[in-house]
Amino acid sequence: MDKLDSMRLFTRVVELRSFTQAAENLSLKRSTVTDAIKQLEARLNVRLLQRTTRHVSPTLDGEAYYQRCLRILADVEDAEMAFAGAQPKGLLRVDAHGTLARHFLLPGLPHFLAQYPDIEFYLSEGDRLVDLVREGIDCVIRAGELKDSDMVARPLGTLAEITCASPEYLQRFGTPDTPDDLSTHRMIGYRSSATGGLLPLVFRHQGKPREVMLPTSLSVSGAESMKEAARRGMGIIQVPQYGLAEDLAQGKLVQILENFPVGSMPVSLLYPRNRQLSPRVRVFIDWMVKEFARRNVLLAG
């Protein structure tokens, strides 16, 4: 195993905190990984990892070496791309909320992969908190206000939100004219994956936000389930408008409280602060910024 391969192996052990998982990730035998790390430590004459029966973590020297390995590996990939018209290549791992992926990522993805045929794209769907380094994810796309994080956030744009309900629901409970009319209404609760709590309805009037928490007999953690429950008359929802065009056009859902707008939800692409971006991640980020802007215009129109 050459020095670069040893560096790649070492970085995966650090990121996964496991010899076994690193071996599986790299399709190697565990004994091969263990022997390679021992040889690396012997060559450097320093202990890089603290080992217990259940946990592996870098020493102070190991953490310093890990950071240098990341920079070196990224530089090598950059250098190789600078010659002979080399294109970004390798596995690109992205995690995105399913609805966002279907509306803003997947429609243009065939063109992206045709432009970069040596990139293998892996898309996982979710809105939970992801440990990008430990799980080997290159970047995530998230909607909503961001909490304090050690990740770099690249703004992609904003999504206009609306308040709506089904005609059947409004027939039963009445159509509210202002947020003050909501005292006899119900909402479909959206449970935050970050806090576990229900998110209130939010309205803006004369530039000031107002939160309204309504009773709910159903709470969900997924946008698609939320919209389906609203179609079935189970309560009021607030969601980005881009995903409701068909429902609104067919009359399955009706926008309400239009004079009290919800506002806009920011969308961001996040990646680890301490990881030097590989060429494949850089081209994806640049493409995603342009694609999001283009798709947002199309969906809004």
- List pLDDT tens digits, range 193-221: 667 788 899 998 777 888 999 999 899 98
Q: 99 and 138: one domain? A: yes
First to last CA, the chain: 55
What are 211's strand-pairing partners?
202
Percent of the chain with pLDDT over 90: 41
pLDDT recorded at residue 206: 78
Could you list the beta-strand ranges (E) of the chain: 49-51, 56-58, 90-96, 119-125, 139-143, 151-165, 189-191, 198-199, 201-205, 208-212, 219-220, 237-240, 254-256, 263-272
| pLDDT tens per residue across span 121-136 | 989 886 555 666 666 6
pLDDT exceeds cutoff 90 at 254: yes
- Quote the domain boundaries for residue 23: 3-81
d(CA 132, CA 151): 9
pLDDT digits (tens, 9 = 90+) for 9-56: 999 898 888 898 888 888 899 899 999 999 999 999 999 999 877 788
| Cα–Cα dist 165/230, whole Å | 6
Dump pLDDT digits (tens) for 46-98.
999 998 777 888 999 998 898 888 878 877 877 776 665 567 888 888 998 88
Mean pLDDT of 247-275: 88
- State the chain's mean pLDDT as an integer: 86
Asked if 252 and 171 sit in the same domain, the reply is yes
Q: Which of 81, 99, 114 is the last residue of a domain?
A: 81
- Considering Cα of 129, then 133, then 137, then 139, what sign does the dihedral take? positive
pLDDT for 135: 65
In our burial notation (b when 16+ CB lie closer than 10 A, e otherwise), range 210-221 reads eebebebeebbe
Q: Are residues 23 and 105 in the same domain?
A: no
Share above pLDDT 70 across residues of the chain, in percent, rounded to a whole number:
89
Q: What is the sign, positive or negative, of the torsion defined by CA atoms of 176, 179, 183, 185?
A: positive
96 and 170 co-located in one domain: no
In a shared domain, residues 148 and 279: yes
pTM: 0.69
Nearest to 76 by CA among 2, 167, 154: 2
* Cα three-residue angle 180-186-192, rounded to 5 degrees: 105
- Total H helices, total E strands in the chain: 11, 14
3-class secondary-structure state, position 296: helix
**230 pLDDT higher than 70:** yes
C-alpha 298/C-alpha 107 separation (Å) is 12
Q: SS3 for 208?
A: strand
CA distances from 23 to 10, 11, 28, 60, 254 (A): 11, 12, 5, 23, 53
pLDDT at position 148 over 60: no
Specify the pLDDT at position 130: 61
* Residue 149, pLDDT score: 66
Q: What is the pLDDT of residues 271-283, one digit of tens each?
A: 887 666 778 888 9
Of 43, 62, 81, which marks where a domain is finished? 81
Q: What is the CATH number of the domain that holds 114?
A: 3.40.190.10
292 and 254 share one domain? no
The pLDDT assigned to 245 comes to: 86
Residues 150 and 276 in one domain: yes
Same domain, 177 and 237: yes
| Residue 190 and residue 284 in one domain | no
Q: Are residues 170 and 259 in the same domain?
A: yes
Quick one: 36 exposed, middle or buried, by C-beta within 10 A (0-12, 13-18, 19+)?
A: buried
How many whole angstroms separate alpha carbon 170 and alpha carbon 298? 30
> Are 49 and 110 within one domain?
no
Answer whether residue 174 shows pLDDT above 90.
Answer: yes
The domain that holds 34 is classified in CATH as 1.10.10.10
Number of domains in the chain: 3
Q: Residue 10: what pLDDT?
A: 92
Indicate if 19 and 69 belong to the same structural domain: yes
Reported confidence tier of residue 189, pLDDT bands at 50, 70, 90: very high
Instruction: Specify whether the CB–CB gap between 64 and 34 falls below 8 A.
Output: no
Question: What number of CA atoms fall less than 13 Å from residue 35's CA on the CB side?
Answer: 6
Query: Please, which residues have CB within 8 angstroms of residue 55's CB and are 6 or more apart in sequence?
Result: 17
Give the pair of three-digit tokens for residue 40.
């690396």
Q: In whole angstroms, give the CA distance from residue 69 to residue 14.
A: 11
